[in-house]
Chains A and B, each alone.
Chain A
Amino acid sequence: MKSLEHTLDAKRGKGAKLLVTYITGGLGDQWIEVLQAVVDAGADAVEVGIPFSDPMIDGPIIQEASQRALDAGATPMSVFGALSCLELEVPTAVMTYYNLIHHAGEERFAQWMNDASVSGAIFPDLSFEEGGSWRRIAKEWGIETVQLVAPSTSDERATLLCEESRGFVYAVGVMGTTGERDRLQTSALEISNRLKLITNKTVLVGIGVSNSEQARAASEVADGVVVGSALVRRVLEGEGPRGAYNFVTDLRKAIDS
């Protein structure tokens, strides 16, 4: 299992800016090929969404992707199953909603992750206070649980969340749902700035980072970016692995420049 934290920290240590991309697991017949394409195009890590019926913090694009994947029969098992047959050169994180973990049982879910060589866990609706038992189990399995920090989070709480975060610190760029925005919100730069002062850990800003220009601007302050909806939209529109490759290549160039 490739450690998210070690991989990202090592690259950051060499002065690189980091790019993590999100794709909904089970979206279309070619999602695995899309995943491989974004890695080939230079993603430093990948986030795979396990679709959930009630994606509370997701905007219309990821809602649509989740629904399509569910309609096509995607389940946690099918997503993990596909991932376990895959040898990616970069670490993988899973992003989903807590009910899927709760329903499977935390221990069993951790085992599924382990079997699929998924090292990172991002559960946006599992608040820090409710996540104690998951974090204990995750630790036993060597799983890195990423904490999200929002613009509304106080400095005091942000310090705690950064301390407890594994893999990287997920800076939530906007007060709102996932989705593309016309321009990078000032909140994305503010939260990145604030967290860089609080922690030495890798800080990646996500939610509302929509294109190359925004990715470059955000990673001037943060250590890098997470891009989800902008990629998923291209897949929804049928661009396939080729389109995903081109988009991620552009993002890579932008943050490296």
Chain B
Amino acid sequence: MSSIMDHPIDGRFGEFGGRYVPESLHGACAEVERYFEQFWSDEEFRYEYSHILSEYAGRPTPLTHAKRLSDQLGLQVFLKREDLTHTGSHKINNVIGQALLAKKMGKTKVIAETGAGQHGVATATAAALFGLSCQIYMGEIDVKRQALNVFRMQLLGAEVIPVRSGSKTLKDAVNEAMRAWVSELENTHYCIGSVMGPHPYPYMVREFQRIVGDEASSQFKRQVGGTPDFVVACVGGGSNAAGTFAGFVDSTAKLIGVEPEGGAAIGKGSPGVVHGMRSYLLQDEFGQVEEAKSISAGLDYPGVGPEHSYLSSIGRASYKAVSDSEVLDAVVLLSRLEGIVPALEPAHAVAYLAREAGAELPTDSSVILTLSGRGDKDAEVVASLIGARLSDG
């Protein structure tokens, strides 16, 4: 039986996706596609990939029944604990896959963009593990607000390149990484961190992240039985949500992506083309891309992965927005009730639960929420100052 989240047709999910790249990058995208298709259907590669994820990165991650939160909200909440992976977020699933692929392609270097720094840290980690050199492009504003992660990347041997163009955040880090990639295609793999960019990236990254949803689905069956009523995850580019949804898209569970109010590409945007893909995009009346404004660097992105645009367009998933202040309350809520300090990104999903329990989420509903990362990076305001000073040296 085919899945709603199947192989894209001609690089497209419905009318979204595609490969809008300069001619210089055409061959490189085609090469990534060819290698990915080859290795993703190769059992040895799949084994190597999942072996590293279990032996090195701590998979499978638990599905935790959040009892006190459940009591307070009148829901049955289960947290998919990506915060417990090595490097502290789901990003590791994707970078292990892409770094392994980069090795197979004979590349000696990986480059990546990062917003919150989680993907940068994960890429730097995988680069160290596989002996690849590594450069991370990061908006100058994010370099300042995520200083601890900048230091972690440097500690792991990566070079962090601050991006000073445009809005100086994630969207410009993507532009700069693409520009750099063009000039060093021969030895470099561009390790995109989310389900975005030109084909095959949205598809490839979703496949590398589907382990989140596949695990959660079988864990729920085993621990609770059946299918949850709701599956909720935060969405910036949307990789943790895409990976989670992949495990439930053909079930009866309702899928909900939670966007930041200031970066709600699906909620407030319209279809556009940027970063190699056609998808929902925040843009002005002339088609200039607008800057997202979110408390969370990881969701501070004006676009969204094309598969989410597709799932929204066919009504299979719905996308809701929460405000920065709701997110901050949610960080405190989860910390105090469950002893889990979430990253600001998944705190968006928690905030949605807190707001909609008993409303959009009827009382007693069962909910799987992907806790995509841990909150250290956001909590350590003091450490960020120390990290900045260290990195200056």
The interface of chain A, by Cβ under 8 A from chain B, is 52-57, 59-60, 63, 67, 70, 75-77, 97-100, 102-104, 124-130, 147-154, 157, 161, 172, 174-177
Contact = CB atoms under 8 A, between A and B. Distances in A.
A98 B96 CA distance: 33
A1 to B, nearest CB: 24
B55 interface: no
A125 B21 contact: yes
Among A57, A75, A97, the one with the most B-chain Cβ atoms within 10 Å of its Cβ is A57
A150 B288 contact: no
A130 B18 CA distance: 7
Nearest to A78: B286
Instruction: Classify the secondary structure of B's interface with A.
Output: mixed
A183 to B, nearest CB: 15
A127 B287 contact: no
Contacts of A104: 286-287
B185 A127 contact: no
| Leading 5 A-B pairs by shortest Cβ distance | A103-B287, A176-B183, A150-B24, A53-B288, A150-B23
A250 B276 CA distance: 38
Nearest to B27: A152
A181 B179 CA distance: 15
A125 B182 CA distance: 13
Contact of B175 (A54, A130, A157): A54
B278 interface: yes
A57 B182 contact: yes
A17 to B, nearest CB: 24
B384 to A, nearest CB: 28
A54 B21 CA distance: 13
Contact of B273 (A55, A125, A129, A147): A125
Contacts of A103: 270, 272, 283, 286-287
Given A56-B179, A127-B19, 19 more contacts: A53-B166, A59-B179, A63-B165, A98-B273, A100-B288, A104-B286, A125-B21, A125-B22, A127-B26, A130-B18, A130-B20, A150-B23, A151-B24, A152-B185, A153-B27, A174-B183, A175-B185, A176-B179, A176-B183
B171 A54 contact: yes
Interface string B25-49: 0111000000000000000000000
28 contacts: A53-B288, A53-B289, A54-B166, A57-B22, A60-B165, A67-B165, A67-B166, A76-B287, A98-B273, A99-B272, A102-B287, A103-B287, A125-B20, A127-B23, A150-B22, A150-B24, A150-B27, A151-B24, A152-B28, A152-B185, A153-B27, A154-B27, A157-B26, A175-B185, A176-B24, A176-B179, A176-B183, A177-B179
B197 to A, nearest CB: 11
B109 to A, nearest CB: 15
A161 B287 contact: no
Contacts of B289: 53-54, 99
A127 B11 CA distance: 13
A179 B351 CA distance: 46
Given A98-B273, A175-B182, A175-B183, A152 B26 contact: yes
Nearest to B283: A103
Contacts of B179: 56-57, 59, 176-177
B96 to A, nearest CB: 28
A99 B273 contact: yes
B304 interface: no
